[in-house]
Structure 1
Amino acid sequence: MGPHGKFYWNELLTDDVDKARAFYGATLGWTFSEMPMADGGTYHVAALGEEPVAGLMDKTDLLPPTVPPHWFSYINVDDIHQRLKLLQAAGGHVLREPFEVPGIGCIAIVSDATGAPFGLMTASEG
């Protein structure tokens, strides 16, 4: 499991994955591998050398077209279910209930007390 309370993963949701891959490859030297997603889409894992550093995905079927491309961050926690209770007690909201991503961990999409969205996750071992 990753460190508790730290930003753990960042993900770009975009309308043009090919353009984003070309941009980050040219500017940061990232290389990309593809992973099939459960919904039939493709997840693009960016790496710097051998280290995975971010993910890219097409937001077309996930978000309204009025939502611009953006980076989305995930914070790792020790116990997602307990932390969701604390989040709600502190004025936050659960936007998407926890779901398992095999080999990755348990993820929930939430917002803080100011309305800022982010992901909470309890990463799988390894």
Structure 2
Amino acid sequence: MPTPHGAVCWSELMTRDAEAAKTYYAKICGWSYDAMKMDGGQDYYVAMSAGIPVAGIMDMSGMAVFEELPPHWFTYFAVDDVDAAARQTKEQGGEVVRPPFDVPGIGRIAILKDSSGAAMGMITEAEQA
């Protein structure tokens, strides 16, 4: 069942030490991890709790776009139409940081900033078979 429109549907940790983060959350939260390759070839770790994907961990080392940012958690909201959300964001005084793009098997994602400057992701989830 897809995440309802407007609900938080995913969080990912952006860090420069994924191994330390994985160890920490494994001990504190009991997470295990499934690794998957991203477009650039680096690993993206899907945190699992009782066999359910609950979060992601991404190493942002060497990525110029993240150079000035400290490690942080990044939130994604589910929307029925991410392209419409991107248009509406601009209309409401926000910013489209990364226009909508497709992630096979995951959905269509945009990286946005609201009118106060807060960054977030929005996603229209792919239909699951």
Normalising to structure 2: TM-score of the pair?
Answer: 0.93
Instruction: Give aligned pairs, total.
Output: 126
* Stretch of structure 1 that moved more, 23-32 or 61-70: 61-70
Identify the residue that residue 121 of structure 1 maps to in structure 2.
123
Distance apart, 1:36 and its partner CA: 0.9
Distance apart, 1:2 and its partner CA: 2.5
Secondary structure at the residue paired with 2:26?
helix
Encode CA deviations 1:45-96: one digit per residue, 9 max, x unaligned. Answer: 0010111000001011334443110000000100111121111111111001
Aligned partners of 1:108, 1:85: CA distance in 2, in Å? Answer: 11
- In structure 2, the gaps of 5 or more residues are none
* Stretch of structure 1 that moved more, 55-64 or 101-110: 55-64
- Give RMSD over aligned pairs: 1.1
Identify the residue that residue 68 of structure 1 maps to in structure 2.
70
Normalising to structure 1: TM-score of the pair?
Answer: 0.95
Aligned partners of 2:103, 2:72: CA distance in 1, in Å? Answer: 21
Identify the residue that residue 3 of structure 1 maps to in structure 2.
4
Residues 33 and 85 of structure 1, relative CA distance in 2, 3 Å threshold? same
Identify the residue that residue 31 of structure 2 maps to in structure 1.
30
